Amino acid sequence: MSRTVRRQRVPIALLVPAGLGLTFLVLPLAGLLLRAPWTTLPRRLTEPGVLTALRLSLETATVATLLCVVLGVPLAWLLARVEFPGRRLVRALVTVPLVLPPVVGGVALLLVFGRRGLIGSWLDETFGVTLPFTTAGVVLAEAFVAMPFLVIAVEGALRGADPRYEEAAATLGAGRFTTFTRVTLPLVAPGVAAGAVLCWARALGEFGATITFAGNYPGRTQTMPLAVYLALETDLQAAIVLSLILLTVSVVILAALRDRWVGST
Amino acid sequence: MTALLDAHLVAERDGFTLDVRLRIAAGEVVALLGPNGAGKTTALRVLAGLHPLAAGHLTLDGADLDRPDRRVWTPPERRPVGVVFQDYLLFPHLSALDNVAFGPRRRGADKRAARARAKEWLDRVGLGDQARRRPRQLSGGQAQRVALARALAVDPALLLLDEPLAALDARTRLDTRAELQRHLGAHPGATLLVTHDPLDALVLADRLVIVEHGRVVQEGDAATVTARPRTDYVARLVGLNLHRGRADGHAVTVGELTLTTADTVHGEAFVAYPPAAVALHPSRPEGSPRNVWAATVTGVQRHGDNLRVQLTGPVEVAADVTPAAAAHLGLIPGRPVWAAVKAAETRAYPA
């Protein structure tokens, strides 16, 4: 490619805000890197509190993602493939957690799954199961806010997949469930994977619903974002280190998804 | 011969009504031929169970598969029907072998038996060495044969093919058509081939059923349909000029024109003759031809080695002339000419 395309003039009225916008997005991350205590980093990373919070975060985000996949993929299938009255309403309801402030989500979860909540009291009396302020509660809070990402991604993939493959499967003797597992799911596997990664990233960063519903107990419900918030009040350096870890994880995810979501020029 | 498939298909789709009766015997290949939008694909979908009947019935091998008035409906996965789709729809995530094994596996064979059966079918269509390939690694002709093997591997009582050769280039189509003919000949069940290509229909089918606007307009073996078209669409397909008029012995009156034919007919009748039988003259010809009329050229196209001239006048007619004759006549649109057809080259039959 020796010939370069004729340079197109970019209006200054667009260039300036665009540049400012980019700076605004990148500068805080640069600040994080500049202020990082690089010399003491290895020691700080191995502090027990940090590792505990990191492990809890990774575990709860993973379990929450699994929960979202198990419940969200069938939900996405229902929205994409079955016509039923009120489908638009259901689709709108699914996306509510996307726009709902997470703290409100946490309060709502407390009202339902809290010890005196609608389902919580029944769970407590019948099974002796308490969800709020437990690790399971963290998973529940994360799944609540992250599930829409998975459902939307998978529904999009399902709508993009040619439904005639499913008809072909039917003519070969496959019932609807077999068709789903043998044909539909393999066809939309990349979409499910992308949705699961987005979902996992959202769960990993979840703060508001978690602190409201599950509290902030180190080793039990204190995930990385909560640890960052707590550290910020006492030890700025520790907050920076924890933030760096979360930043690294985010960048790795972005790189993994590059081909699918970002690099589509 | 008793019919393996006995159907009266009535279905609504996109504000369009299909109403077609079909009977196909075991081992018989029937082509459903018609222009785009005639309802061919709807008929195929209804037979496969991908679209419900609004009325009528669908009986295959003595069993009612779809009968709205008795509330009988069998879902596609429980019908003994195999389908070769127009663009094949081979599962992209499965190998050729697993694509073919998919049907037997769903119908109860265990994994090994299903694969053995699939291998057998791939061998039969000459693709035994391509078993491990994914569909995107196959050529168009190979994919078509895998699709055929996949549909046949479940021993369907009814095999449906939707434009099976339409996606292939001309060269591959020739080979694949010959191959397909062999496999359809060996299929013991009923076969319905949906196509808009008259050549596919004439080569592959024992009988043609022609549909237009959701209705059967003509039905019969290839010889009858090509010799005696009954609609303009069929006449165009088989390359004949066709007029409808009133016959009285050897004379058929079409509008203001009276054509003399060799055949004897009375009442409503069709007259058909090939474009090559139409001779064009710059002035009214003297002598033998008795069917002569004044016409105007509306268009000229290449047609093989000759030119096909479209004429308007008392009747719309196509005439084939040699390039030399065309140059001599100066055939350009708007040119007045005299058209002549010998009675011996026309065929008349009751409408």
Contact A142, A210 (CB under 8 A): yes
d(CA B335, CA B324): 17
d(CA B121, CA B142): 13
Pair B149, B293 in one domain: no
CB contact under 8 A, B91 and A183: yes
Looking at beta carbons, which residues of chain A come within 8 Å of B118? none
Looking at beta carbons, which residues of chain A come within 8 Å of B83? 168, 171
Mean pLDDT of A18-28: 94
Q: Is residue A42 predicted with pLDDT exceeding 60? A: yes
d(CA A60, CA A224): 11
Pair B248, B227 in one domain: no
Q: Domain of B150?
A: 3-234
Structure confidence by residue, pLDDT tens digits, A108-152 = 999 999 888 888 888 888 888 888 899 999 999 999 999 999 999
CB contact under 8 A, B102 and A174: yes
Tell me the residue ranges of DSSP E strands in B239-316.
Answer: 241-254, 257-273, 278-281, 291-303, 306-312
Pair B181, B203 in one domain: yes
> Both ends of chain A: CA-CA distance in Å?
18
d(CA A230, CA A207): 12
Residue of A nearest to B78 (CA): A173
Pair B225, B254 in one domain: no
Domain count, chain B: 2
Residue of B nearest to A183 (CA): B91
For position A258, what pLDDT does the model report?
Answer: 67
CB contact under 8 A, B106 and A178: yes
Residue of A nearest to B84 (CA): A168
Say yes or no: A168 contacts chain B, CB-CB below 8 A: yes
Q: Is residue A261 predicted with pLDDT exceeding 60? A: no
- Tell the residue number behind the tokens 């008809």, with chain if given: A167
Name the β-bridge partners of B215. B19, B212
- Tell the residue number behind the tokens 């060269």, with chain if given: B171
- Tell the residue number behind the tokens 């589509």, with chain if given: A264
Q: How many CB pairs under 8 A join A and B?
A: 58
Work out the burial of residue A247: count CB atoms within 10 Å of its CB; fewer than 13 is exposed, 13-18 middle, 19 or more buried: middle
Work out the burial of residue A137: count CB atoms within 10 Å of its CB; fewer than 13 is exposed, 13-18 middle, 19 or more buried: buried
Work out the burial of residue B98: count CB atoms within 10 Å of its CB; fewer than 13 is exposed, 13-18 middle, 19 or more buried: buried
Q: For chain A, which residues make up each domain, given as ranges?
A: 49-262
Q: How far is A153 from chain B (nearest CA, A)?
A: 20
For residue A257, the surrounding DSSP H or E stretch is helix A236-257
Long-range CB contacts for residues A108-114, cutoff 8 Å, separation at least 24:
A109/A137, A109/A140, A109/A141, A109/A144, A109/A209, A109/A212, A109/A213, A110/A212, A110/A213, A113/A137, A113/A140, A113/A213
**List of residues 6+ apart from B133 with CB closer than 8 A:** B95, B96
Structure confidence by residue, pLDDT tens digits, A144-159 = 999 999 999 999 999 9
Name the β-bridge partners of B258. B253
Q: What is the CA radius of gyration of chain A?
A: 22
CB contact under 8 A, A171 and B83: yes
Residue of A nearest to B107 (CA): A173
- Tell the residue number behind the tokens 């960052």, with chain if given: A228
Structure confidence by residue, pLDDT tens digits, B111-170 = 999 999 999 999 999 999 999 999 999 999 999 999 999 999 999 999 999 999 988 888
When pLDDT is cut at 50, 70 and 90, the band that residue A4 belongs to is: low
Q: What is the CATH number of the domain that holds B289?
A: 2.40.50.100
Cα→Cα distances B21→A134, A186, B67, B114, B216, Å: 68, 39, 14, 36, 8
For position B289, what pLDDT does the model report?
Answer: 58
Pair B339, B256 in one domain: yes
For residue B341, the surrounding DSSP H or E stretch is strand B336-341
Residues in chain B whose beta carbon is closer than 8 A to a beta carbon of chain A?
48-50, 75-79, 81-83, 85, 89, 91-93, 102-103, 106-107, 150-151, 154
Say yes or no: A56 contacts chain B, CB-CB below 8 A: no
Last residue of a domain, one of B234, B265, B281: B234
Say yes or no: A193 contacts chain B, CB-CB below 8 A: no
Q: Which of A172, A180, A185 to probe the B interface (max B CBs under 10 A)? A: A172
Last residue of a domain, one of B177, B205, B234: B234
Q: What is the CATH number of the domain that holds B27?
A: 3.40.50.300
Pair B205, B325 in one domain: no
Looking at beta carbons, which residues of chain B come within 8 Å of A187? 91-93
For position A252, what pLDDT does the model report?
Answer: 83
CB contact under 8 A, B85 and A169: no
Which of B78, B81, B89 shows the shortest C-beta gap to A165?
Answer: B89
CB contact under 8 A, A170 and B85: no
> How many residues are listed for chain B in this entry?
351
Last residue of a domain, one of B171, B206, B234: B234
CB contact under 8 A, A173 and B77: yes
Share of chain A above pLDDT 90, in %: 57
Looking at beta carbons, which residues of chain B come within 8 Å of A162? 89
- Positions of chain B with pLDDT lower than 50, given as ranges: none
Q: How far is A260 from chain B (nearest CA, A)?
A: 19
Q: How far is B302 from chain A (nearest CA, A)?
A: 40
d(CA A31, CA A240): 10
For position A189, what pLDDT does the model report?
Answer: 92
Pair B304, B194 in one domain: no
For position B52, what pLDDT does the model report?
Answer: 93
CB contact under 8 A, B82 and A171: yes
d(CA B115, CA B105): 8
Q: Tell me which of 1.10.3720.10, 3.40.50.970, 3.40.50.1000, 3.40.50.80 is the CATH number of domain A49-262.
A: 1.10.3720.10
Q: How far is A171 from chain B (nearest CA, A)?
A: 5
Looking at beta carbons, which residues of chain B come within 8 Å of A188? none
Pair B200, B287 in one domain: no
* Torsion, CA B136, CA B141, CA B144, CA B150, rounded to 10: -80
Mean pLDDT of A207-232: 91
- Phi (first) and psi of residue B194, to 5 degrees: -100, 125
CB contact under 8 A, A182 and B107: no
Q: Name the nearest CA neighbour of A199 among A141, A146, A145, A250.
A: A146
d(CA A156, CA A192): 10
Which of B49, B92, B102 shows the shortest C-beta gap to A172?
Answer: B102
Looking at beta carbons, which residues of chain B come within 8 Å of A191? none
- Tell the residue number behind the tokens 């016509």, with chain if given: A83
Q: Is residue A54 predicted with pLDDT exceeding 50? A: yes
Q: How far is B110 from chain A (nearest CA, A)?
A: 14
Q: Is residue A9 predicted with pLDDT exceeding 90? A: no
Name the β-bridge partners of A125. none
B188 CB neighbour count, 10 Å cutoff: 11
- Residue type for B334, please? G
Helix (H, G, I), strand (E, B) or coil at B239: coil
A71 CB neighbour count, 10 Å cutoff: 14
**B67 Cα distance to chain centroid:** 27
Token readout for B326 is 């065309």
Pair B172, B262 in one domain: no
d(CA B24, CA B2): 8
- Tell the residue number behind the tokens 């996965």, with chain if given: B77
Looking at beta carbons, which residues of chain A come within 8 Å of B152? none
Q: Name the nearest CA neighbour of A164 among B55, B92, B47.
A: B92
Residue of A nearest to B44 (CA): A171
User: Crossing angle, helix B170-186 and helix B140-152, to 10 degrees?
Assistant: 20
**pLDDT mean across residues, chain A:** 89
d(CA B272, CA B226): 10
Contact A145, A60 (CB under 8 A): no
d(CA A65, CA A197): 8
Q: How far is A195 from chain B (nearest CA, A)?
A: 20
Pair B212, B249 in one domain: no
Mean pLDDT of A56-75: 95
Q: How far is B153 from chain A (nearest CA, A)?
A: 9
Name the β-bridge partners of B18. B11
CB contact under 8 A, A162 and B107: no
Contact B271, B346 (CB under 8 A): yes
**Cα A179–A181–A186 angle (5° rounding)?**
100
Pair B247, B227 in one domain: no
d(CA B286, CA B267): 31
Pair B280, B209 in one domain: no
Contact B76, A167 (CB under 8 A): yes
For position B304, what pLDDT does the model report?
Answer: 84
d(CA B329, CA A169): 60
